[in-house]
A and B are shown apart, each in its own frame.
Chain A
Amino acid sequence: DTEVTQTPKHLVMGMTNKKSLKCEQHMGHRAMYWYKQKAKKPPELMFVYSYEKLSINESVPSRFSPECPNSSLLNLHLHALQPEDSALYLCASSQDGVRTETQYFGPGTRLLVL
Chain B
Amino acid sequence: ELKVEQNPLFLSMQEGKNYTIYCNYSTTSDRLYWYRQDPGKSLESLFVLLSNGAVKQEGRLMASLDTKARLSTLHITAAVHDLSATYFCAVDSQFKGSQGNLIFGKGTKLSVKP
Residues of A in contact (CB 8 Å), total: 26
B106/A90 in contact, CB under 8 A: no
A56 interface contact, C-beta 8 A:
yes
The answer, among B98, B100, B105, for a CB contact under 8 Å with A42, is B105
B101 touches A56 (CB 8 A): yes
The listed residue with most B CB atoms (<10 A of its CB), out of A42, A56, A99, is A42
From the candidates A55, A97, A108, name the one contacting B42 in the complex (CB within 8 A): A108
In the complex, the answer to whether A50 meets B105 with C-beta atoms within 8 Å is: no
List residues of chain B with CB within 8 A of the CB of A56.
95-96, 99, 101
Is A55 touching B98 in the complex (CB atoms < 8 A)? Answer: yes
Q: A50-B99, A56-B99 are in contact. Are A42 and B45 (CB under 8 A)?
A: no
- Is A48 part of the binding interface, using a Cβ–Cβ cutoff of 8 Å? yes
CB distance from B33 to the nearest CB of A (A): 7
Given A90-B42, A102-B33, A105-B43, check contact A48 B88 (CB 8 Å): no
Provide 28 A-B residue pairs closer than 8 Å at the C-beta atoms, listed in order of the A residue. Answer: A41-B106, A42-B88, A42-B105, A43-B43, A45-B102, A48-B99, A50-B99, A55-B98, A56-B95, A56-B96, A56-B99, A58-B101, A90-B43, A97-B98, A97-B99, A98-B98, A98-B99, A100-B99, A101-B48, A102-B33, A102-B45, A102-B48, A103-B33, A105-B35, A105-B42, A105-B45, A107-B42, A108-B42
| B positions within 8 Å CB-CB of A | 31, 33, 35, 41-45, 48, 88, 92, 95-96, 98-102, 104-107
